[in-house]
Amino acid sequence: MAAVAELTQYTNTARRFSSEVSYASTRISGRRRLHLRPIRNSGIRCSVTSNEVQAAPEAVKAEEVKKKAECYGVFCLTYDLKAEEETKSWKKLVNIAVSGAAGMISNHLLFKLASGEVLGYDQPIALKLLGSERSLQALEGVAMELEDSLFPLLREVSIGIDPYEVFQDADWALLIGAKPRGPGMERAALLDINGQIFGKALNAVASRDVKVLVVGNPCNTNALICMKNAPNIPAKNFHALTRLDENRAKCQLALKAGVFYDKVSNVTIWGNHSTTQVPDFLNARINSLPVKEVIKDTKWLEEEFTNKVQTRGGVLIKKWGRSSAASTAVSIVDAMRSLVTPTPEGDWFSTAVYTNGNPYGIADDIVFSMPCRSNGDGDYELVKDVEFDDYLWNRIKTTEAELLAEKKCVAHLTGEGIAVCDLPGDTMLPGEM
């Protein structure tokens, strides 16, 4: 509970700080203009011309005024997006909100998003970066690097510390920021009030069809908290990232089989992004053949392979001195692309989603990694045609039990009563070992 109190204080401070500036934005004849209306000096820089500052209060009607996170530098300039949409056949601008935007994962991810490699080279984007008071300066540094990269598709960058401002009209919310575990800290203390705060903010101000991808650990239960606090957004739109685990599993199978990793398909990660996760070798394929026909060493599959995938993050931390950031960013790109491009025939991808209505018999009302397919419209369907054996099912039950225990632990954050926290002591994040 100490952690909860600390975070509440952190958020209140953030709210106070962000109320010191207020912005008005409007579209005039298809031209996107941003007007700065300082209330008090916030100490944040923002480049706008003095004409715009003077024109703003008169020109903008009260009902058109929306609170906005702060536009940054060159991204505050007036430009004619509508004309560019027409002349360059660009699609309509997509708003991508990112929390923990000054962190390591974001530092890789933001540049991939801005380059067009994620959503396509005809898709202009706006990046809405959420930090905290302590990271605001770093966030400005990130925005400066984005400016200097001259990405043609990056039309707006705004930075802020209030999720109610930063998540405004978000089409994607990539929730990467999370409290890191300190020495001696209980896993339960990581289950984060931020999920509740972010969920409420998304519910209030994001696009009704926003796709939410939770990366900050423990990501499955953080996603559940967020989802429960956002009843106006379809539960199906919430994901927790297990794509990095899928990629790690593919790499290990490829190594063992002596093939390049593009020959490995149909890999499912079942369950929690923790050391109880289940990399499924029963349904996976190598060169279109069942893995067990290619790798005959069942002991390796059940013990070494499974353990390697479950603990890959921790081994990397020992070598690198920090957790996976570049490969996590790549896996976020993979996860997003899997929702906006049709899944190749016969294949699937893993993502942790809400279990209600699942065809496997996994407990309802948790966020659990399962095999999915998409036709590229942002939505997905669970794959029905998968096999289970005792080994796989018993492992699935273990990871399911862990998620059910985590859920009880956050009842106070999901609106389901009093939290009872009795987590299995031996379960850990992939990075802890």
Ligand X SMILES: NC(=O)C1=CN([C@@H]2O[C@H](COP(=O)(O)OP(=O)(O)OC[C@H]3O[C@@H](n4cnc5c(N)ncnc54)[C@H](OP(=O)(O)O)[C@@H]3O)[C@@H](O)[C@H]2O)C=CC1
Ligand Y SMILES: O=C([O-])CC(=O)C(=O)O
Residues whose CB falls within 8 Å of the CB of residue 132, separated by 6 or more in sequence, listed in order: 10, 14, 161, 177
The 8 Å CB, 24+ separation contacts for 316-320 are: 316/431, 317/431
Shortest CB 126 distance to ligand Y, Å: 28
Report helix, strand or coil for 207. Answer: coil
Compute the distance between CA of residue 273 and CA of residue 430 in angstroms, rounded to an integer.
7
Based on CB atoms, which residue is closest to ligand X, 168 or 217? 217
- Residue 324 lies near ligand X (rule: CB under 6 A): yes
Give the Cα separation of 182 and 288 in Å (integer).
Answer: 44
Of all residues in this chain, which one has the CB nearest to ligand X in the complex? 103
Structural contact between residues 266 and 283, judged by C-beta atoms closer than 8 angstroms: yes
Dihedral, 152, 154, 157, 163 alpha carbons, nearest 10:
180
Under the criterion CB under 6 A, does residue 215 sit at the interface with ligand X?
A: yes
Q: Least distance in Å: CB of 139 to ligand X?
A: 7
**β-sheet bridge partners, residue 268:** 280
Among 179, 187, 211, 412, binds ligand X (CB under 6 A): 179
User: Is residue 324 part of the contact set for ligand Y (CB under 6 A)?
Assistant: yes
Q: Segment contacting ligand Y (CB under 6 A): 141-149, 204-212, 369-377, 424-432?
A: 424-432
Of the residues 163, 271, 371, 430, which one makes contact with ligand Y according to CB under 6 A: 430
Minimum distance from residue 349 beta carbon to ligand X (Å): 14
What does the alpha-carbon distance between residue 399 and residue 404 come to, in Å, rounded to a whole number? 9
| Binding of ligand Y by 100 (CB under 6 A) | no
- Within positions 160 to 219, which residues make up the interface with ligand Y, using CB under 6 A? 217
Q: Is 194 in the site for ligand X (CB under 6 A)?
A: yes
CB neighbour burial string for 45-78, b if at least 16 within 10 angstroms, e if fewer: ebebeeebeeebeeebeeeebebbbbbbbbbbee
Q: Is 325 in the site for ligand X (CB under 6 A)?
A: yes
To the nearest whole angstrom, how small is the minimum distance from the Cβ of residue 219 to ligand X? 4
**Position 282, amino acid:** L
Is 249 in contact with 430 (CB distance < 8 Å)? no
Identity of the residue, 119 or 325, whose beta carbon is nearer to ligand X in the bound complex: 325
Whether the Cβ atoms of residue 278 and residue 399 lie closer than 8 Å to each other: yes
The span of 33-41, 55-63, 83-91, 425-433 binding ligand Y (CB under 6 A) equals 425-433
Rounded to an integer, what distance in angstroms lies between the CA atom of residue 106 and that of residue 174?
A: 9
Q: Which segment (28-36, 211-219, 361-369, 417-425) binds ligand X by CB under 6 A?
A: 211-219
Catalytic positions, please? 273
In angstroms, rounded to a whole number, what is the distance separating the alpha carbons of residues 28 and 26? 6
Please tell me the count of residues contacting ligand X according to CB under 6 A: 26
Yes or no: say if 133 and 9 are a contact pair by the CB < 8 Å rule.
no
CA diameter of the chain: 75
Using omega within 30 degrees of 0 as the cis cutoff, is the peptide bond preceding 180 cis? Answer: no
Residue 216 touches which of ligand Y, ligand X, none (Cβ within 5-8 Å per kind) = ligand X
Q: For the segment 263-292, give every residue that binds ligand X (CB under 6 A).
A: 273
What x/- string results for residues 284 through 313 when contact with ligand Y is judged by CB under 6 A? -----------------------------x
Q: Which amino acid is at 124?
A: P
Residue 196: name its binding partner from ligand X, ligand Y, none (Cβ under 5 to 8 Å by kind). Answer: none
Residue indicated by tokens 């966030």: 139
Per CB under 6 A, the list member of 103, 163, 195, 271 interacting with ligand X is 103
Least distance between ligand X and beta carbon 28 (Å)? 33
Q: Which does 174 bind (CB under 5 to 8 A by kind): ligand Y, ligand X, none?
A: none
DSSP-assigned beta bridge partners for residue 159: 70, 129
The least distance separating ligand X from the CB of residue 110, rounded to whole angstroms, comes to 11
Q: How far is the CB of 198 from ligand Y (least distance, A)?
A: 18
Select from 265, 328, 350, 399 the one that contacts ligand X (CB under 6 A).
328
Q: How far is CA 89 from the centre of its chain?
A: 28
Measured from the CB atom, the residue of 311 and 358 that comes closer to ligand Y is 311
Residues that bind ligand Y in the complex, under the rule CB under 6 A: 217, 244, 313, 323-324, 429-432
Residues that bind ligand X in the complex, under the rule CB under 6 A: 100, 102-105, 131-132, 134-135, 176-180, 194, 215-217, 219, 241, 244, 273, 323-325, 328
